[in-house]
């Protein structure tokens, strides 16, 4: 049996087609004999882009001309032919990853933007500029503006955030009087709308440190919140002036105070916080209750761990589980006939209406149970949210 001799492989010829501009040649460090230096226009690596940095910079500034920004970060995305060519250089010439043309674009664009008075920021840039070198396109991510503050809600039947109509999901139907929402306004809308206008933003989202019931007022020192202003065109706003403007439009229903510039970290903290609360509850009893008996029941209910199964009234939107929360100080402010006003301090998340009524045995112990008289909350206000800086 004769073996067919294998064909000799063709010797690899130095690539005449390795035509690079000076900048690319220098960066790749490929020996001069293996490439040909050409005009930037003909460079098959950067496709001439490295000679057009100023033009690209002007495009960025043009695209963002309506946006106020001071700090920026540039990122480059490689795909298509530029990416393929770079991989070829890595495989055939051992081009190191840190010599990727991505960094060259990032650096060159950054330098040009700095010449235009902008400041690079790797942590929290006002705008992140994403350059797609293959498509020669830019994408921009505008960092939201975050504002911390506290709100006071002086009226009942306003939800904290927009509450869409459950029937039409916001489109508008007969059920919701073609408003698309369940309540005619919300704390969120009252605070956000003026901000959207002032910051020339797309929208604004309210993140509260917990929320009160729709029919409860939020009084006292107010509830902490962070307002996230999405895609703002303006960033530098006088917060004193903003506070005045919000209050002018939303008062007397809602008032904001203590506005200050904030960040994602505070937003996270606010959302995860479990601040202790102080409530004032107007309680009605099925029959007259003696002050002394009420005092005894209140003493038993104070500083106690309360077991609460998810209240019947929220069972349709929350999982049925048992929570343990503690009551702290409870005070009787008034007791007359079949009426009492109580001030209750409790852990975040304790359901006060159920603490009074017992919720058909789902909350143990409860005021009803301890008194042996049916009781329910007629009116409820939150009068204090205790964060680390504020007490009552
Ligand atoms: Zn080049
Ligand atoms: Zn509807």
How far away, in angstroms, is 324 Cα from ligand 2 center? 36
Is 39 assigned a catalytic role?
no
How far away, in angstroms, is 286 Cα from ligand 1 center? 86
How far away, in angstroms, is 353 Cα from ligand 2 center? 28
| Average pLDDT over the chain, rounded to an integer | 91
pLDDT at 362: 97
Q: How deeply is 75 buried, as exposed, middle or buried, from its count of CB atoms within 10 A (0-12, 13-18, 19+)?
A: middle
How far away, in angstroms, is 186 Cα from ligand 2 center? 16
Helices of type H across 173-311: 187-198, 239-250, 264-272, 291-301
The CATH number of the structural domain formed by 145-272 is 3.30.70.2510
How far away, in angstroms, is 40 Cα from ligand 1 center? 6
Q: Which ligand is the nearest neighbour of the Cα of 85?
A: 1
Per residue, the 3-state secondary structure of 34-54, as one string, reads HCEECCHHHCCCCCCHHHCHH
* Tens-place pLDDT, residues 162-181: 888 888 888 889 888 888 88
pLDDT at 7: 56
Q: Which ligand is the nearest neighbour of the Cα of 19?
A: 1
Q: Is the peptide bond before 271 cis (omega within 30 degrees of 0)?
A: no
pLDDT at 178: 85
Domain with CATH 3.30.2130.30 in the chain: 52-142
- If pLDDT is split at 50, 70 and 90, which confidence band does 6 have? low
Phi/psi for 296 (5° steps) reads: -65, -45
How far away, in angstroms, is 182 Cα from ligand 2 center? 8
Measured between alpha carbons, how far is 138 from 337 in angstroms, rounded to an integer? 71
Mean pLDDT for the stretch of residues 93-98: 86
DSSP of 76-117:
EE--HHHHHHHHHHHHHH---GGG-HHHHHHHHHHHHHHHTT
Mean pLDDT for the stretch of residues 7-22: 63
Q: Which ligand is the nearest neighbour of the Cα of 42?
A: 1
Kindly state the percentage of the chain with pLDDT values over 90.
Answer: 73
How far away, in angstroms, is 185 Cα from ligand 2 center? 14
- The architecture CATH gives domain 276-386: 2-Layer Sandwich (3.30)
Mean pLDDT for the stretch of residues 327-352: 96
- If pLDDT is split at 50, 70 and 90, which confidence band does 392 have? very low
Interior CA angle at 385 toward 279 and 259, to 5°? 140
List, as own/partner pairs, every contact residues 37-43 make where C-beta atoms lie below 8 angstroms and the sequence separation is at least 24, other chains included: 43/19
Picking from 157, 138, 153, the residue whose alpha carbon sits closest to that of residue 206 is 153
pLDDT at 301: 97
> Is pLDDT above 50 for 391?
no
Measured between alpha carbons, how far is 166 from 153 in angstroms, rounded to an integer? 24
- The architecture CATH gives domain 52-142: 2-Layer Sandwich (3.30)
Instruction: Identify the active-site residue in 126, 213, 359, 381.
Output: 213
Domain with CATH 3.30.70.2510 in the chain: 145-272
Mean pLDDT for the stretch of residues 84-106: 90
Kindly state the percentage of the chain with pLDDT values over 70.
Answer: 94
* Tens-place pLDDT, residues 189-217: 999 999 999 999 999 999 999 989 899 99
pLDDT at 98: 86
How far away, in angstroms, is 184 Cα from ligand 2 center? 12
pLDDT at 185: 87
> Is pLDDT above 70 for 1?
no
CB of 60 closer than 8 Å to CB of 53? no
Q: Which ligand is the nearest neighbour of the Cα of 167?
A: 2
DSSP of 149-198:
EEEEE-SSS-BSS--B-TTTTTS--TTTTTSSBSSS-BHHHHHHHHHHHH
Q: How deeply is 352 buried, as exposed, middle or buried, from its count of CB atoms within 10 A (0-12, 13-18, 19+)?
A: buried
Q: Which ligand is the nearest neighbour of the Cα of 165?
A: 2
């Amino acid at each position: 049996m004769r073996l067919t001799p294998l064909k000799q492989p063709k010797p690899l010829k130095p690539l005449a087609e390795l035509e690079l501009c000076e900048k690319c040649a220098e960066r790749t460090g490929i020996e001069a004999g293996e490439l040909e230096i050409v005009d930037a226009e003909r460079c098959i690596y950067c496709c001439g882009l490295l000679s057009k940095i100023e033009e690209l910079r002007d495009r960025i500034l043009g695209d963002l001309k309506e946006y106020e920004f001071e700090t920026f970060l540039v990122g480059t995305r490689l795909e298509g032919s530029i990416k393929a060519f770079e991989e070829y250089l890595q495989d055939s010439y051992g081009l190191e990853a840190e010599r990727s043309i991505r960094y060259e674009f990032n650096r060159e664009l950054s330098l040009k933007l700095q010449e235009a008075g902008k400041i690079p920021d790797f942590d929290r840039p006002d705008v992140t500029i994403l350059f797609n070198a293959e498509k020669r396109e830019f994408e921009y991510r505008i960092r939201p503006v975050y504002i911390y503050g506290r709100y006071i809600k002086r009226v009942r039947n306003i939800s904290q955030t927009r509450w869409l109509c459950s029937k039409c999901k916001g489109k508008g139907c007969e059920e919701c009087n073609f408003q698309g929402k369940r309540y005619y306004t919300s704390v969120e809308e009252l605070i956000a709308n003026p901000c959207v206008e002032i910051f020339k933003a797309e929208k604004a989202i309210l993140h509260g440190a917990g929320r009160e019931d729709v029919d409860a007022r939020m009084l006292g020192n107010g509830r902490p919140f962070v307002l996230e202003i999405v895609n703002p065109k303006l960033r530098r706003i006088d917060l004193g002036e903003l506070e005045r403007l919000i209050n002018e439009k939303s008062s007397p229903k809602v008032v904001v105070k203590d506005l200050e510039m904030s960040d994602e970290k505070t937003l996270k903290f606010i959302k995860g916080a479990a601040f202790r609360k102080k409530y004032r509850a107007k309680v009605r009893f099925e029959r007259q209750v003696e002050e002394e008996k009420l005092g005894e029941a209140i003493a038993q209910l104070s500083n106690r761990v309360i077991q609460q199964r998810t209240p019947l009234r929220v069972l349709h939107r929350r999982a049925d589980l048992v929570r343990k929360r503690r009551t702290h100080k409870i005070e009787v402010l008034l007791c007359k006939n079949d009426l009492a006003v109580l001030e209750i301090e409790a852990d975040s998340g304790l359901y006060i209406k159920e603490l009074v009524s017992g919720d058909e045995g789902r909350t143990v112990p409860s005021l009803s149970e301890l008194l042996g008289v049916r009781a329910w909350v007629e009116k409820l206000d939150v009068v204090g949210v205790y964060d680390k800086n504020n007490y009552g």
